[in-house]
Structure 1
């Protein structure tokens, strides 16, 4: 069997595939050459991608031997899952493999907003000693609002509890008996508006779908506290970036931490680049050495199961 990897993978994943008897072709930049990808895909039984390779009907039709699609992550908006199901091609994803890393990113953002030590250090190195400016604030008794109450929110909530934060959430698909409510202690709000009005920090944990696109736009941003921050580690497009830029420039909210954008990399002309109160990172919330070892190994292992006709708990 042959496996094609079109984007970055850690060596543990490649070794696992080889140990299972796969012939592996790895080219982390192949996703940038669509024509070549379409030419070579007919040779492979499995293709493993991240979030840049567009796995649509065109690619699946060209990949006549494809028996499995692997996603090195959890977001699936670059994969036509419906068409894959119609063609009988299982889609394997890295279930929960990077959840801890994303949760820690969210807490890092909250701590950075509350105590910007990096800015204080720059000030001291430049001859300053502004204790008033860098006094900061505590997380204790602040409120974090989680939009979407899945595994990552569960892990964020556990860590936020350690700081003595109040944790609220909004998710129309969650009941009072789900573990994130019953065991993690998240207080569920009936409406998104309630969460926006009460939160000091808002963290997004929902997939990009027609119902979540621009979930936060001008009306929602206007309901947030002027002292509040929004953190997006889910998908670009959940926040209306034009509306967010306006809210930041007008100081309607205190700031934003964005790891994902509607177009990546960001365009030089993007209005968010004019906002000093936004921190932008290059889609790295789930990227730690530990999570990438887990992700690469898990997807490789589960691809092998699928192709052997075994049951996998990591298929869509």
Structure 2
């Protein structure tokens, strides 16, 4: 049985799927795959037998992607698995930004003595808020979460303006036609009464909302970050709040610089923490891991290109290699020189890496052994794996 190592509490939905497909969970053998949530792998030794790491969630900054990519380890996430959960907390945060619910609850709990109902009724005027309807929401990032937030806010009678630096056809289809597409992030920040950020944390996005961008916002505006810690420069946000250049800041990521600030609401990274989201993400992760280890198909990889082809031949060979010229020519020549007929060849590239899938029917044991060893000797080939179709 193939061993899978897990970190963190993984939903039984995912673990049961792996067990049903004949995987061992946290056995004694060297693992072929790792399934995790928030565990920091940057300082963890990764066994040479590991072929895939799957994050049951969207963010993957807890995984040393570049280092593992050079070793031929495919890294996956589960985009959309917790999107509805994060969307719902974002909508709740919008309400908290519009209405002083937290303070009102504390006031009600602190009311003691006499006619509690009368005292509460006479003092509630200090907790008057505003309605979301008619206000403008700016959504930065229109991916799985941002698009859901934008569409829901529209249903709440908000005006919505969205900006996505990677806007494409898939993004466009996800959002309602009544949502205005901004040409720049500055346009969103200048117009919006509420701004919510839903972009991944990458080095280029660190402190995406910095002091300069905060200065573009209305002093009456509210800022929400339920995306990732580090997307917003919290020091700059605190300064903006202290100088009345920002009305309120709500974040799902604790930072000591924000503690004890009456204009800040912090939740302890609970955006994706629902039973449904954990089940969905774990099941997605398990299926992607199984698919890659048994067929070579790559779906939702964060470091290698996706290839998802029906496995219709007896065998296939997956080749992870650097994205350099003449690799397909060298790979095709290798198979031809050794009299191995290629039934189908698929190739995709992203950034510095490429993935080639070769489908084969006639494949002797000697040829298979040769491919497993000699193909890796071609310059720029990182890893070669052979797959056998269990249904043929």
State if a TM-score over 0.5 links the two structures: yes
1:158 alignment partner in structure 2: 151
Mapped contact 1:249–1:275 kept (Cα < 8 A): no
Per-residue CA distance 1:237-271 (angstroms, 9 max, x = gap): 1111111111122222111111125xxxx4xxx22
2:263 alignment partner in structure 1: 277
Per-residue CA distance 1:170-226 (angstroms, 9 max, x = gap): 222215884257645321222222211111111111112222111112121122111
Which of these residues, 38, 61, 70, is aligned with residue 77 of structure 1? 61
**Residue 298 (str. 1) matches residue 284 (str. 2):** yes
CA shift for structure 1 position 17: 1.5
Mapped contact 1:176–1:182 kept (Cα < 8 A): no
CA shift for structure 1 position 45: 0.9
301 and 43 in structure 1: CA distance in 2 versus 1, 3 angstrom threshold: same
**Residue 167 (str. 1) matches residue 160 (str. 2):** yes
184 and 282 in structure 1: CA distance in 2 versus 1, 3 angstrom threshold: farther
1:220 alignment partner in structure 2: 213
Which of these residues, 94, 105, 109, is aligned with residue 78 of structure 2? 94
**Residue 313 (str. 1) matches residue 314 (str. 2):** no
Which of these residues, 126, 138, 141, is aligned with residue 134 of structure 2? 141
CA shift for structure 1 position 233: 1.2
SS in 2 for 1:274: coil
- Paired with 1:274 and 1:250, the residues of 2 have a C-alpha distance of 16
1:12 alignment partner in structure 2: 13
- Paired with 2:12 and 2:165, the residues of 1 have a C-alpha distance of 40
Q: Which moved more, 1:182-191 or 1:88-97?
A: 182-191
2:333 alignment partner in structure 1: none
- Paired with 1:48 and 1:55, the residues of 2 have a C-alpha distance of 15
Mapped contact 1:180–1:186 kept (Cα < 8 A): no
1:245 alignment partner in structure 2: 238
- Paired with 1:213 and 1:178, the residues of 2 have a C-alpha distance of 23
- Paired with 2:159 and 2:37, the residues of 1 have a C-alpha distance of 35
CA shift for structure 1 position 90: 1.8
Q: CA RMSD in A?
A: 2.2
Per-residue CA distance 1:263-304 (angstroms, 9 max, x = gap): xxx4xxx22113111111111111111100111111112211
68 and 182 in structure 1: CA distance in 2 versus 1, 3 angstrom threshold: closer
Which of these residues, 30, 45, 49, is aligned with residue 59 of structure 1? 45
Which of these residues, 166, 181, 186, is aligned with residue 188 of structure 1? 181
Which structure has more strand as a fraction of its residues? 2
Q: Tell me the TM-score normalized by structure 2.
A: 0.69
- Paired with 2:175 and 2:214, the residues of 1 have a C-alpha distance of 29
118 and 279 in structure 1: CA distance in 2 versus 1, 3 angstrom threshold: closer
- Paired with 1:148 and 1:197, the residues of 2 have a C-alpha distance of 16
**Residue 286 (str. 1) matches residue 272 (str. 2):** yes
SS in 2 for 1:157: helix
Q: Tell me the TM-score normalized by structure 1.
A: 0.85
- Paired with 1:180 and 1:275, the residues of 2 have a C-alpha distance of 40
Mapped contact 1:145–1:169 kept (Cα < 8 A): yes
CA shift for structure 1 position 312: 4.4
- What 5-or-longer segments of structure 2 have no aligned partner? 112-119, 303-392
Structure index of larger Rg: 2
**Residue 255 (str. 1) matches residue 248 (str. 2):** yes
- The higher-RCO structure (CA 8 Å, 6+ apart) is 1
177 and 76 in structure 1: CA distance in 2 versus 1, 3 angstrom threshold: closer
Q: Which moved more, 1:104-113 or 1:170-179?
A: 170-179
Which of these residues, 92, 111, 117, is aligned with residue 101 of structure 2? 117
SS in 1 for 2:214: helix
SS in 2 for 1:76: coil
CA shift for structure 1 position 53: 2.0
